[in-house]
Amino acid sequence: MKRKAGNRLKVLILIFLGGSGLIAVFAFGNYTGVKLTQTGYEKGCFSLPEDVVDLDFPQVKDYVRFVAIGDTGDGSEAQKRVAESIRQVCQGGNCDFALMLGDNFYEGGLQSLQDPLFKLFFEDIYQDIGIPFIAVLGNHDLKGNVFAQIYHSLDSPFWRMPNFSYNFQAGPASFFGFNTSCGILQAEGVRQDVEESQSPWKFLFGHQPVYSGGVHGDLDPLSRGLWNNYFQGKVDFYLSGHDHQLEHLQVEGEKTEYIVSGSGGKNYRSSSDKNKVKSSAAKSRFRYQDNGFVWFQVSPDRVISRFYDASGTQLYEFQKTKD
Q: Compute the distance between CA of residue 274 and CA of residue 269 in angstroms, rounded to an integer.
A: 7
Cα distances (Å, whole numbers) of residue 46 to 49, 145, 148, 249: 9, 14, 15, 30
Mean pLDDT of the chain: 89
Query: Average pLDDT in the 88-117 region?
Result: 97
Domain presence at residue 24: yes
Please spell the DSSP secondary structure of 1-49, one letter per residue. Answer: ---------SSEEEEEEETTEEEEEEE-SHHHHHHHHHHHHHTT-S--S
User: 10 Å Cβ neighbour count for 289?
Assistant: 21
pLDDT category at 56 given cuts 50, 70, 90 is: confident
Which residues pair with residue 257 across a beta bridge?
237, 250
Domain presence at residue 4: no
Cα angle for residues 68, 292, 65 (degrees, 5° grid): 35
**Tens digit of each residue's pLDDT (9 = 90 or more) over 234-277:** 999 999 999 999 999 999 999 999 999 999 999 998 888 888 99
pLDDT category at 34 given cuts 50, 70, 90 is: low
pLDDT at 173 over 60: yes
Number of compact structural domains in the chain? 1
What integer pLDDT is reported at residue 122 of this predicted model?
A: 98
Cα distances (Å, whole numbers) of residue 37 to 91, 108, 144, 164, 242: 45, 22, 17, 15, 25
Cα angle for residues 304, 310, 315 (degrees, 5° grid): 40
Query: Average pLDDT in the 20-47 region?
Result: 60
3-state secondary structure (DSSP) of residue 323: coil
pLDDT category at 40 given cuts 50, 70, 90 is: confident
Sign of CA dihedral 22, 23, 29, 32: negative
Task: Tell me what percent of the chain is helix, strand and coil, each rounded to the nearest 5.
Answer: 25, 30, 45
Domain presence at residue 117: yes
Please spell the DSSP secondary structure of 218-255, one letter per residue. Answer: SPPHHHHHHHHHHTTTT-SEEEE-SSSSEEEEE-TT--
pLDDT category at 170 given cuts 50, 70, 90 is: very high
Domain presence at residue 6: no
Domain presence at residue 3: no
What integer pLDDT is reported at residue 11 of this predicted model?
A: 32
**Tens digit of each residue's pLDDT (9 = 90 or more) over 203-241:** 999 999 999 999 999 998 888 888 888 999 999 999 999
pLDDT at 54 over 60: yes
Query: Average pLDDT in the 165-191 region?
Result: 91
Domain presence at residue 261: yes
The more confident residue out of 272 and 77 is 77
Domain presence at residue 177: yes
What integer pLDDT is reported at residue 110 of this predicted model?
A: 98
pLDDT at 294 over 50: yes
Domain presence at residue 308: yes
CATH of the domain at 267: 3.60.21.10
The more confident residue out of 9 and 311 is 311
Q: Determine the structural domain holding residue 199 and report its residue range.
A: 12-321
pLDDT category at 287 given cuts 50, 70, 90 is: very high
pLDDT category at 33 given cuts 50, 70, 90 is: low
pTM summary value: 0.91
